[in-house]
Every structure is written in C-alpha cells, then in structure tokens.
Chain A
C-alpha cells in the first residue's frame, strides 16, 4: 500500500509542478479553508435574506447596535432570534417559561411534596378505616345463591386494564418519586439502571393503557350514568359510616370511580402521547403543561385506585369474587345493591308469570 500511495502523491505533485509530501498537505489545507469559507457564507446569506427582526431591538448601544445587556435580557426572557435551522423553537436560546416548571418538578418542588403527601394520606386513611371499622360483611351472611354480575369479556378487560395500570403506576411513581426517595436507598448507579428499565416499560405500556381504557369504557359504560338514587347514596356516605344506602347495579361510588378513571385516563393518555412524541408537538410550554397534567391526573388515578383496590378486596366481603368468578352472592347484592336485587326479582317474577 505504501509504495502505491507514495507513487500516487508523486504523480499529483508532478502535475501541479511541486514536489514532496508537504505540497499535498498545503493543497488539502487550501481545500479545507475554501470549504469552511464556503459553508460560513450560508448563515450570512440567510441573515441577508431573512425578513426584518420581528421584535423591538431595544435601546441601541454605543456602537449603534443593540446593547449587550439588552440582548442578554431579551435572551433571558425567552426572546427568539434569527437562525438558519428550520425547527420549532430552535431560535430560543433560553426557555424562560421553564423556570416555574423546573421548580415545580424539582425533587423539593410542589409536585413531589404534595403528591407524596396525597398518596401517604390516602394509604393512611384506608389503613385507619380498616383498623377501626374492619371488613364490611354481608348482612345476614351468605345465602349460597349466586347471581351473575360481570361477563367474561368485562372481567378480561378489567384485569387487563388492572395489570397495565399497576405496571404503569409502579413505573410512573418510580419516575416521579425516584430521585428524592430511591436514590438515597439504592444509590445513583442502581437507580440509573432501574430508571432506564421503568422508563422504557412506561413508554411501551402507555399506548396499551389507552387501548384498554377504550375497551373498559365500552364494557362498563352501560349502567354507569348517574341517577337520583345516587344522590341519596352520596348523602348517606355510601353507608361507610353506618346505616344502609340503597343502590342499583352500580352505586354512586362505583360510578364516580368509573368516570374518574375515564376522565383521568383520557387526560393521562392524551398528555402521555404528547410526551411520547415530543418532536411532533415541539412546543416546550405545551409539553411542560402536558407533563404536569400527566402527573396530577396520574396521582388522582392512583389515589382513587387505592380506595378501589381496598374496597374491592379486603374492605368488603364477597366483592372480589364478582370480578374473579363473575358471580356474587344474592345476600351481597341485598347488602350493597338492593335496588338491583329488586330489579332482578321483579324480572324473575315476570319471567315466571
């Protein structure tokens, strides 16, 4: 290879009337210099052809141009300049509007502080309620007669949504609270690995949540619209503090949870898609607001879910089997959904007649 190269160089040098390897270097340097000059002319051309500055230049400095301090003040407040890169917001050097968001999203910020207080309060309230009141039992005990409550499709949709939600809630909480709570426990290296894993999982399962939400909505919307009996149920506190509160197939608490899940789910999904594809939206302010909406709606969803999981499992006797086997005890319906039981009995008597 070397003799060939040497011979090749010699031939070029002979043609140019110069001898020795340095001559080739000089030629290359000239070529590079020409290229740099040529490329550097593009921004100048762009500035020449660009329209007049769309903003007030402010007071002029001693050299007749905008003063340095004014220029930096503009930049500091997010003033856009003229650039050749044709991308959204690429002309903004400092995103001044992001300061509030950074403070809010900071590990000592309001979102982390009040978010953790909210979740801790809900968990404490549920635990205290369970200790004080215990499990809500079926009035008069089980009858042994089972009545279908949820179809197979409804249960599959519910549990698919539940699995995806739990995965997203866990990964989302690690993303949100990881820095203040997990780094001190795991150390930065282990948290870095965990953060990478949960971020990828969260991003991949997000769209599945949106699809599950649509399936959940269509599977459960029937019977979840408010009625007057819901108002009476709410006024009696759902019977949680004593007394009996009549309800139909779904009580007001279940209906509230359904609509909270749907509305929060839509907000979470919509904002989540914005965050998944930031280059499509591109506007930083919108993305910051999307992250805020995503976080707040998710915290609300998780908070309600804690109550739902408690009442659906250890909180109320006989409720979980409705979503596992699809059937509930007739006495359970009489205790919690007496108006629905009356409907079933009326229908049954009509069928018998």
Chain B
C-alpha cells in the first residue's frame, strides 16, 4: 500500500470517524447538559431574542464599526470565513473528493479565478487575524495555545492545498491530505468547534436577553 493509498483509505476513514464521533459527542454534551429553570415571568420573547442574535450578529456590530483601530478585524473575519467556506466546498478538487470519498454527490465548482480569489481572501484574513493575536496586548493575553495551534494548522492545510494546486505531484497531494487528517482529528478538541457551536451560544445569549426584554 502506497502512502497516498493509506492516506486516502484507512487514515482518511479513521480521521473522519474521530472528527464525526467526537464533534457529535461534544454537541450532545452541550445540548444535554440542561439549564437552570428560570422562575421569573418573561419580559419578552426568548425565541425572538435568540433568532435576532443568531442572524443579527452576521452584521458588524457598532463597537467594531465605530472603532477605527480594529476595523480590520471585521473585514478580516469576513474575508477568512467566507473565503474558507468557498474554498472548502466549491473548489473543484474538493467537490471531486467529496463525491468519490464521502457522499457521492457533486455540485457546480467555482471557476479557477473564483477559487483563486476566495483563497486569497481566506489567506489574507487568516494572516491578519492570527497576527493580531500576537500584536494586540489584550487579544494576546486572552489567546491560548490552542488558538495558535488552530490558526497554524489551518494555515498549513491551506498552504499545502495551494502548493498542490497543479494536481500533478502526488507527494504534494499526500502532504495536503495528511495535514487535513491531522486537522480533522484535532478539530473536536479545539476552538474550531465554534463552527458548530456558534448558533448555540448566540441562541442562548439571545434567548436570555430576549426573556429579560433587552436587545444585544
């Protein structure tokens, strides 16, 4: 068995299983943890508050809009997340891989120029956000080792992917796939879980504010 066969076969299955089982475990633990019953009469609608916060916080908040010192945080955040989403789900090699190895479904891929632009946005956004963790004294203080591992690993996955863009060198594809598998295994243990938990945290905070009759 060659390295690429190992990476595409047993290692891919193992990493994907670890990712799926542990991510579901963590989500289940959050959902089943329960919460203290609030006896006070609600002053507003918790559901409306939750929905308002879940969707309303896609729009940049006032403190970020008004503060020129951190203007780039909002821009970089959008650039990175939208770019990564587009690269992850609309790059032609990824769609082929998902079709062949995961769900057997395929959809329209981005044209090459669209993929390049999305990747550029993702890279510049990630770099700016990661560098901010080092140079902003407050963000540096609240950044954990995990945050740096997540940023570094994601950067390496993206970099190795861009190195393998020619799709002619198997070694480069193997490096990318190997890093993706490490990334998948680390995912459930890390702050990358916010990919799935953000609606829960926003929804909970929004519902609590809604119940009190306040807005966030």
Contacts and interface: CB of A to CB of B under 8 A. Distances in A.
Q: Which of A192, A193, A199, A211 has the most CB of B within 10 A?
A: A193
B24 to A, nearest CB: 34
Interface stretch (A96-104, A158-166, A180-188, A245-253): A158-166
Q: What DSSP secondary structure best describes chain B's contact surface?
A: helix
Interface residues of A, number: 26
A163 B134 CA distance: 13
B71 interface: yes
30 contacts: A152-B69, A152-B132, A152-B136, A153-B68, A153-B70, A153-B71, A155-B135, A156-B128, A156-B131, A156-B132, A159-B131, A160-B128, A193-B169, A196-B166, A197-B163, A197-B164, A197-B172, A200-B163, A200-B165, A201-B159, A201-B163, A204-B119, A204-B120, A204-B165, A208-B123, A211-B120, A212-B124, A324-B134, A325-B135, A326-B135
What class of interface size applies to chain B in its complex with A? 20 to 34
A34 interface: no
Given A152-B69, A193-B171, A205-B123, A160 B131 contact: yes
Interface in A139-184: 151-153, 155-156, 159-160, 163-164
A188 B192 CA distance: 40
Nearest to A197: B163
A212 B128 CA distance: 10
A207 interface: yes
Interface of A: 151-153, 155-156, 159-160, 163-164, 192-193, 196-201, 204-205, 207-208, 211-212, 324-326
B72 A200 contact: no
A198 B172 CA distance: 11
Given A163-B127, A211-B124, A204 B162 contact: yes
Contacts of A200: 162-166
Q: 10 closest A-B pairs (Cβ-Cβ)?
A: A197-B163, A155-B135, A200-B165, A159-B131, A204-B162, A196-B169, A160-B127, A196-B166, A208-B124, A193-B169
Given A152-B136, A208-B120, A212-B124, A163 B169 contact: no
Contacts of A211: 120, 124
B145 interface: no
B92 interface: no
Nearest to A195: B169
